[in-house]
Amino acid sequence: MSWVMVGLDWLGAGVIALGVGFFVAGTLGLLRFDQSINRLHALTKADTLGLGLVVFGLVLQAPGLAVGLKLIIVWTLGLVSAALVSHLIGQSLCSQRQEEP
Amino acid sequence: MSGLIYSLCALGLVMIGLYGLARAHHGLQQLLAINVMSAGVFMLLLTMAARHPPADAVPQALVLTGIVVAISALALGLALLRRLAAEEAESHD
Amino acid sequence: MLDAILTLLILALAWHCVRTTDLFEAIVVFIALGMLVALAWTRLQAPDAALAEAAIGAGLAGALLLASLRQMPEMSATRAPGAKTTGLGWFWWGLWGALGLALVSGVAAIQTTSVSLMPQVQAHLSDSGVTHPVTAVLLNFRALDTALELAVLLWAWMAQKQLFVPGRQTVYPLQGQVLKTAVKALLPLMVLVAVYLLWRGSSAPGGAFQSGAVLASAWLMLWLAQLPGLSRKQGGMRLGIQAGWLGGVTVFLLVGLLGVFQGAGFMGYPPDQAGAWILLIESAAALSIGLLLASMVLVSMPDFQEGTL
């Protein structure tokens, strides 16, 4: 294995560790915040960045172009579904708030 | 080693499910407890399958069949509970 | 190490799931439990079962449970007034402990035996028409089990149809175009993934169950986005949906009967045609499983009305 490969491997591991840190922070927010809308905020911010960093780290370690591209597709789908789900949860929270008074 | 850990996990799931079934107050809790138990049974089958590589395909196929049967049972149980709730609401009106 | 952490997490979640008195919390914990169990099964070299558990056992079961929860009485309403004992009596604890001991000794006894059917499966794999052992067992060696399982699914759906009560609750209408646009964009992709999973099943983990689960969620998304999807109001569509419900079992049994006339016995296929027959059965089964699972979730929705399906 060449030095470049080893370097990329270590860089990937570092980036993944950083991403995991964001996941932990997001989970903490999910558990500690008291309002659903705040929890949503913590979760989506951290998950978007966390997932992005983990996927980026894995792409750096990927054995080939095909695997790397697949990972990027996974990341895109994850982003789309996270945005969609947050939007729906937000809507449902809004409707609850309007019903209450 | 991991086989032993997962068979303990399977046993734990079955026992926890059984406990939950015994102390359930609500139909939904009973259904959840049964499903926890079924997850334990599936896990035991898969642990048995994974003892020697390559993993035995017959228990794995059984588990796949079991998952679909379990969701059928869950859906039917929920339909019964919904009907029960609707009948009760009607009799109160 | 990972296995031990996973096991502890699974057991803790299962304990919390049966202990908590908040039903919503119990369901959320149950969904998380399903995901972790799926993770554990990939560690046990069972990717097929893990895929199915994540999609069906955690995903669709979660949707069913959450949709049903809104139509049920509160926890306190079902408990008799004045009842205060929440624990088990000593008799039940004794029974529980005895059963636990029996299970431990039983499992310990199985651990020492080493029966595996894998050698037989591998010996006949070349006659089965597929190269993935799990698919070979499901659709060739133990095809009758799978056919009966489809029959169970169909029967459970028929029973639910009879139990149906029209939803009384109104749900806040969807705002904006985000969901509609996203569903329109994602739907072709989901159908593509379903077909890919089905095709892949002959040589690698995947197959009719996983493909059916993806189809079911595609249909549910179509319904949630209030797009003109499959509606029984149109006559042709109505027949199509009914055919879809029955299709899996019917095609399976017809192909099975064909085996009798070809001399391979009931549910047997001649080795040289097996691959094609399995693909035909799997396509019908995936469509059936998708439609049946989606129908089951749809009738559990709080605002579902009879005419829509």
Mean of pLDDT values over C63-80: 76
Q: Count of domains in chain A?
A: 1
Do chains A and B touch by CB distance (3+ pairs < 8 Å)?
Answer: no
Q: Over 80: is that where the pLDDT of C87 sits?
A: no
Q: Which domain holds residue C215?
A: 131-309
In C16-75, the residues whose Cβ lies within 8 Å of chain B are 17-19, 21, 23, 26-27, 30, 33-34, 37, 40-41, 43-46, 48-49, 52-53, 56-57, 60-61, 64-65, 68-69, 71-73, 75
Which DSSP string corresponds to B26-80? SHHHHHHHHHHHHHHHHHHHHHHHTSSSSPPHHHHHHHHHHHHHHHHHHHHHHHH
Q: Over 70: is that where the pLDDT of C36 sits?
A: yes
C178 and A95 in contact by Cβ < 8 A?
Answer: no
| pLDDT at residue C307, as a whole number | 59
Please identify which residue in the block is written with the tokens 């569903």.
C183
Mean of pLDDT values over C165-177: 73
Query: Is residue C58 included in any domain, yes or no?
Result: no
| pLDDT at residue C230, as a whole number | 56
Q: Over 80: is that where the pLDDT of C7 sits?
A: yes
Chain B residues within an 8 Å CB radius of C36 = none
What are the CA-CA distances from residue C221 to residues A64, A89, C229 (Å)?
Answer: 34, 15, 10
Mean of pLDDT values over C268-280: 83
Size of interface A-C (CB pairs under 8 A): 18
* pLDDT band at residue C309 under the 50/70/90 scheme: low
| pLDDT at residue A35, as a whole number | 83
What are the CA-CA distances from residue B55 to residues B42, B83, C55 (Å)?
Answer: 14, 43, 22
Mean of pLDDT values over C248-273: 83
Q: Over 60: is that where the pLDDT of C79 sits?
A: no
Chain B residues within an 8 Å CB radius of C118 = 52, 54-58
Mean of pLDDT values over C58-76: 85
Q: Which domain holds residue A49?
A: 3-99
Q: What is the mean pLDDT of each run of 10 residues along chain A (101 residues)?
A: 82 91 88 83 83 91 87 90 86 77 57
Mean of pLDDT values over C196-213: 89
Mean of pLDDT values over C213-236: 77
Mean predicted lDDT score pLDDT of chain C: 84
Where is average pLDDT lowest: C28-32, C167-171, C190-194?
C167-171
Q: Which of B6, B20, B52 sits opposite C44 (nearest CB)?
A: B6
More confident residue, C211 or C275: C211
Query: Tokens for A90?
Result: 């937000």
Q: What's the CA angle centered on C293, arms C290 and C297, to 5 degrees?
A: 135
- Write down the CATH number for the domain with range B2-92: 1.10.287
Q: Count of domains in chain C?
A: 1
Q: Over 90: is that where the pLDDT of B64 sits?
A: yes
| pLDDT at residue C259, as a whole number | 82
Query: Tokens for C250?
Result: 């019917």
B67 and C299 in contact by Cβ < 8 A?
Answer: no
Mean of pLDDT values over B36-46: 94
Find, in chain B, the residue whose alpha carbon is nearest to that of C119: B56
Query: Is residue C104 included in any domain, yes or no?
Result: no
- Tell whether C257 is within 8 A of chain B (Cβ): no
CA distance B66 to chain C (A): 8
More confident residue, C249 or C129: C249
Q: Over 70: is that where the pLDDT of C80 sits?
A: no
CA distance C172 to chain A (A): 6
The proportion of chain C whose per-residue pLDDT surpasses 90, expressed as a percent, equals 33
Residue A5's CB: how many other CB atoms inside 10 A? 10
